[in-house]
Chain A
Amino acid sequence: MGMSLQQIIFGVLSVISLVSALGVVLSKNPVTSVLCLIVTFFTIAGHYIMLNAQFLAVVHIIVYAGAIMVLFLFVIMLMNLNAEIEPQKRNWLKYAGAISGGAFLVVLLAALREASMPALLPGSNEIGLISNLGKTLFNQYVVPFEVSSILFLSAMVGAVVIGKKEN
């Protein structure tokens, strides 16, 4: 049985993203966790490219891998967190985590069991390209887009006000 090139790439990407996502949770060293998270973001960006959403892929890398993770790394380095000073978690906490995670998985499966996933229309594989995305955002969804930008602005102003020293 032959697999198409797309399927092979999808399989490889998925394995890497799962392994690195596990690495984020299981690693003792916070810096390794951050690096694993960066690898996960890259594989997710790869999935976006497979879906022909190149703009989303690049923005994902710029925003998450390029900006947010740098800040994470920054904080971890400054606080000098490392494996030795990581607090020991109690056993019941681990069990509680595993049980609630498993319960969440069951709920998710139950909710998605009946969901139909129609294949994309044949002509719609250009939908993630930047010109289509821009036209949709600025014609059909211009009001929500502008409202969300105001939300961002207020968040920025809030951060500056909190961060400012009191005179």
Chain B
Amino acid sequence: MTIDWVLILEKILLISGVLVISLVVAMYSTWGERKVAAIMQDRLGPNRAGWIGLLQPLADGGKLFFKEEIIPGSSNRFLFILGPSLAMMVACMTSAVIPWGDTLIIAGHTVSLQIADINIGMLYIFGVVSLGVYGIMLGGWASNNKYSLLASVRAASQIISYELAMGLSLIALVMLTGTLSLKEIVEQQRHGYWNFVYQPLGFVLFLICSFAECNRSPFDLPEAENELNGGYHLEYSSMKLGFYLFAEYINMFISSAVMASLYFGGYCFPFMDKLGLDHNLLTILGTAALFFKTICFIFFFMWVRWTIPRFRYDQLMRLGWNMMIPLALANMLLTGAAILWKQGH
């Protein structure tokens, strides 16, 4: 069995690149969040460290690193450390199946800008999402604090409830595209309309579920500071707290990229094949388009956070089970009927 060293080197470079970019985007999302909040509340926001506060994330990161690290005496030490590590790991795993761009041709060698084009990419995303709850659950339980436990129980039931509606809204998309590979879904949108046009309800449902899965406001009940003292990361300090906070921003970035790929054409942009540009240049422009769309979604996440107040717990459950799931089922039925009608049955 010969090992293709060029391929391995290429994949290692790509994986490191995607990881570094995810971390940098997550870092600057914290800056972005504070700036967006400041603009919406008519303040200035961070503006001391560097030009318009651009060095603020570095200062925050450094501060978290050098803070004293406290592990509560009554906690389960191993699980206490495992919690944030799992949260961070799971957050970084989804990026493997996202097509970050088309192919680059370097010296006659075709390099794909997707780490793994597996034919079950969508199910992979779903699998990783379903594991996302462990970091919060274990961390909250291992802290041995009643508020943390309450928060982790909340998080688990919230994520399980919204996973169902998320899966159902994705099934309609799979029926429409006929594939589970993200690369193929994006390539289909290159020549036709974006999937958003065919699946408006499915997109809205998926968007709401992403908010819930990322624990973002208005679904941030697991960290409701005024009833749970900060929720599942109440006992955490130093960089372990940083990991939890950081994982949230990475999740936000990745789910924005997933939404852009599934519903808004991914790395495709209008008239891209009519420009007559060089293949490599087109790929780079496509990647830039994907990042532009992703950043728009991240802005939307922040915009909603500072606009809509948090749900109450019973409202959250009612929305999930009595509205999202029936709507997703109806969307699935409608999509199926439309496909059959188009096929002429």
Contact = CB atoms under 8 A, between A and B. Distances in A.
A31 B119 contact: no
Given A58-B124, A62-B127, A77 B141 contact: yes
A121 B137 CA distance: 45
A78 B153 contact: yes
Contacts of A67: 130, 160, 163
B152 A77 contact: yes
Interface in B128-150: 129-131, 133-134, 137-138, 141, 149
Interface of A: 4-5, 31, 35, 38, 54-55, 58-59, 61-62, 65-67, 70-71, 73-74, 77-78, 129-131
A138 B138 CA distance: 40
Given A66-B130, A70-B137, A58 B153 contact: no
A129 B119 contact: yes
Determine chain A's interface SS by DSSP, over half rule.
helix
23 contacts: A31-B79, A31-B138, A35-B138, A54-B118, A55-B120, A58-B120, A58-B124, A58-B126, A61-B127, A62-B127, A65-B130, A66-B131, A67-B160, A67-B163, A70-B130, A70-B137, A70-B156, A71-B160, A73-B137, A74-B137, A77-B141, A78-B153, A131-B119
A5 B124 CA distance: 24
A155 B250 CA distance: 38
B123 interface: yes
B120 A62 contact: no
B141 A31 contact: yes
A50 B138 CA distance: 30
Contacts of A61: 127, 130-131
A130 B124 CA distance: 13
Contacts of A35: 138
Nearest to A66: B130
Contacts of B138: 31, 35, 73
B79 A62 contact: no
4 interchain residue pairs of minimum CB distance = A66-B130, A58-B123, A61-B127, A62-B127
Contacts of B137: 70, 73-74, 77
A67 B130 CA distance: 7
Contacts of A65: 127, 130-131
Interface string B154-184: 0011001001000000000000000010000
Given A31-B79, A77-B153, A70 B123 contact: no
B136 to A, nearest CB: 11
A4 B1 contact: yes
A123 B227 CA distance: 60
B180 A130 contact: yes
B149 A77 contact: yes
